[in-house]
Amino acid sequence: MSSVPLPKNEQARLQLLHELELLDTEADPIFDRITQLVKEVLGADAALITLVDEERQWFKAKVGFDEPETDRDDSFCTHVIAAGKTMVVENALEDDRFSSNPYVLAEGGVRSYAGAPITLFDDYHLGTLCVISQSPNKFPAAQVRYLEVLADWLSATIADRYEIDNYQAEREVLAQGPVCAVVWRVEPEVHLSYVAENAERVLGYPNEYLLRDDVNYESIVHPDERADLLDRMQRVLDGEQEFLDMDYRILRKDNGQDTSHWVHHYARADKDKAGNVLRVRGYLLDDSKGKKLELALRETNQNFELALAAGEFFTWSWTLPNDQLKVSHPWSLMAGYSSKDEQQLNWQTLVHPDDMTKMQERMNDHAQGKTDRFEVRFRIRHKEGHYLWLHSVGKIVSRDSSGRPLRMTGIHHDISQQVANENFLEQQAQVLELVSHVQHEFMLAKDFSEVCDHALPKMMAMTGSKVGFVGELPPGSRQRNLLLVHGLRIGSDQYESESLQDLVKQSLEVEVAGDVIRSVLLRGEPEFCHEPLSELEMTLTPITLPALKNALIMPLYFKREVIGLMILANTESHYSRKYLGLLRPMLDTLGTLMHMRRMDEERQQAVEELRTLATTDELTGVANRRVFWEAIEQRYDEFMRYEVPMTVAIIDLDYFKQVNDNYGHAAGDEVLREFCERTQVQLRDMDLFGRLGGEEFAVLLPYTPEDEALLALERIRKAIAADPFVVEDEKITVTMSAGIAQLKQADGKLDHWLARADEALYKAKDQGRNQCVTASKR
């Protein structure tokens, strides 16, 4: 036997294996069922879930194999781990790697093997899902695929459990910190339903007290902020705003003295698909020190801001009676005007129309003594046509004898970049909120098109786009010329948008063509298109897109693999690279959700295929022998409890061996299939028709007495005998015999009931076949 191979990342692999704490753990029922299922489906002598550490191969689950572990040097699975892919050994005696293996040379030793790696995070092969047999075996491709799909499912299950354990650990850490998690229920009335254990440390009240039915949370809030808190909370409950974010004081006693402490409160509503609020989750942070510092700084700023800013910003002086505004010369240069232009400038005509009313309101508030100063942000038009943001602060410095303001002085400075940064930070927060929302919605609905229908318009709004598209490459796509459409928005026409959404829900596929879009799919790099796009650069057939004057085409990844793309187009300005950073969390989320959707579909398909294989007869598609006996045992127990009529019929095709001898086994198989089709047409939905083996079949007729069952079997017999079976232009006459027995209390065992049906069948054959005989009349 050759030396044992090791994967390149062996040390990192072992570190992860030990970190997962899977070795030497108790049996897991899910893993045990998987090994049993794999053993049955692949027809093997044993099935194992293995984990390979430094020196041994340990079995997390096993069926058909007695030893709890083996040496790694003797392990077939270590070769799978080193290669990172499925390995099939049809005859170990003929394989140089294993021909001298002690488990091969032993009496009744291993002859065939198939194993698929259990892989976490793309590159860490921890063990295998494998089967072994004592005889050589060629595993069909379909069986190997089932093995690989279930191994992938095991990998995902282990990874999910690992993440859940980390989440629980993080929550325990949070409970020991300065942040208290709380949850409000909505029905039957709004009240706290969960308060973290650290509530007393953060709020000064134990969680048992706050959870009492006779205690309302707002009762511990300072009266000055109580109404504001209740109002904001109600807006969250009514869906008028997405979240609550505020500071307020909590009343508490410290060393017997009444005190108040500031807390910062953030809360967000959980909603169902219809938008109804299910609950409100919140976090409360003891913010007393920070709030005191904030208030002190605010007071300092109010007292000294003008003096500190006077030497750094541009100054202005406004004589109110004649509306004369004088500004320092750099202000004019900032707006793009020369000193000559300054004399003819009317500053009010430069202010953005939407800001004039706000400026007047702030001015009136200050003139009436409602505020200690005039402060406002507003926009002025640059000479080239775009707008600059200014922050202006001023005070009335003189009044007439009646108290009317005469003159104001102040400072202003250009905050255009600051506003742009604030807008970008706000957009980042919106993106993160959107990521959280779509992840939550996907986990609830598992509908990726609904996720895109919600997320795509928001990303279009952030970038000022008029066209949006999200598409997914089919799994295993090589040519990359087809996309499954998950999201599509064109313009603002509601009728057109609804029509497009109907197409998307019908699993619309588009054919991709054009140098630009193909480049994104093949190279995996985004494309910034600042000029109009031609059909040679991008087309999506059969969709007719409007003329694209610009576009940003971004690939969607999962683990460095391009699995789809997003297109945003027709913005009023242009697409800059900052949008990539802004949208990256959302792009990564969409790529991950696409992958999760694929994995879930593949898992469901594999489970369904395995279920079909395990419950139906492979040739005819009717219930197999095991399923039929399980059903008849249940009906037997039901009769013994309730004495409802139950009848079973055992059917045998007359002289069927002659069909195989005269026409061949292929023709015989076709006759069996058509016989099943004709029979099922004559039965009710509640009747169970199954194949017991060869040409022997059975029908279970629940809630049916023997005489009615005889009528049903006679219909079947006549339908079979009436028309010959036609196979490759050959007419084959087939008849059947049936024995029918109604279950009785005297049938002390299930076998007694079936034996009476068998006896009736033999009677039908003795009487010349092509007839149905009941046990009561035989």
Residues serving a catalytic function are 695
* Residues contacting 104, CB < 8 A, separation 6+: 92, 93, 98, 110, 111
322: left (phi over 0), alpha (psi -120 to 50) or beta: alpha
Identify whether the C-beta of residue 263 lies closer than 8 Å to the C-beta of residue 245.
Answer: no
Instruction: Tell me the CB-side half-sphere exposure of residue 446, using CA atoms within 13 A.
Output: 7
Burial class of 717 by CB neighbour count within 10 A (0 to 12, 13 to 18, 19+):
buried
Report the alpha-carbon distance of residue 540 to residue 566 in Å, rounded: 13
Report the alpha-carbon distance of residue 509 to residue 535 in Å, rounded: 18
3-class SS at 41?
A: helix
Give the ranges where 561-664 is alpha helix by DSSP (H): 578-615, 625-642, 656-663
Cα dihedral sign, 61-62-68-69: negative
Report the alpha-carbon distance of residue 304 to residue 327 in Å, rounded: 22
Amino acid at 707: D
Query: Six-digit token pair at 662?
Result: 């005269």
What does R_g of the chain's alpha carbons equal in angstroms? Answer: 39
Report the alpha-carbon distance of residue 219 to residue 75 in Å, rounded: 67
Identify whether the C-beta of residue 516 lies closer than 8 Å to the C-beta of residue 533.
Answer: yes
Query: Six-digit token pair at 60?
Result: 């997390």
* Residues contacting 76, CB < 8 A, separation 6+: 87, 89, 98, 101, 110, 113, 115, 130, 132
Buried b (16+ CB within 10 A) or exposed e, 423-446: eeeebeebbeebbebbeebbeeee
Strand pairing partners for 549? none
| Cα separation values, 194 from 202, 205, 251, 466, Å | 15, 14, 20, 44
Peptide bond into 542 cis (omega under 30): yes
Query: Six-digit token pair at 607?
Result: 């489970």
Instruction: Tell me the CB-side half-sphere exposure of residue 10, using CA atoms within 13 A.
Output: 13
| Cα separation values, 698 from 613, 694, 741, Å | 19, 12, 11
Query: Six-digit token pair at 288?
Result: 């007393």
3-class SS at 664?
A: coil
Return the C-alpha torsion angle 652, 657, 660, 663, nearest 10. -100
Peptide bond into 724 cis (omega under 30): no
Report the alpha-carbon distance of residue 49 to residue 151 in Å, rounded: 9
Identify whether the C-beta of residue 554 lies closer than 8 Å to the C-beta of residue 587.
Answer: yes
DSSP code at position 69 = E
Report the alpha-carbon distance of residue 753 to residue 647 in Å, rounded: 9
Amino acid at 235: R
Identify whether the C-beta of residue 237 lies closer than 8 Å to the C-beta of residue 280.
Answer: yes
* Residues contacting 247, CB < 8 A, separation 6+: 262, 263, 264, 265, 287, 291
- Nearest CA to 70 among 59, 54, 84, 86? 59
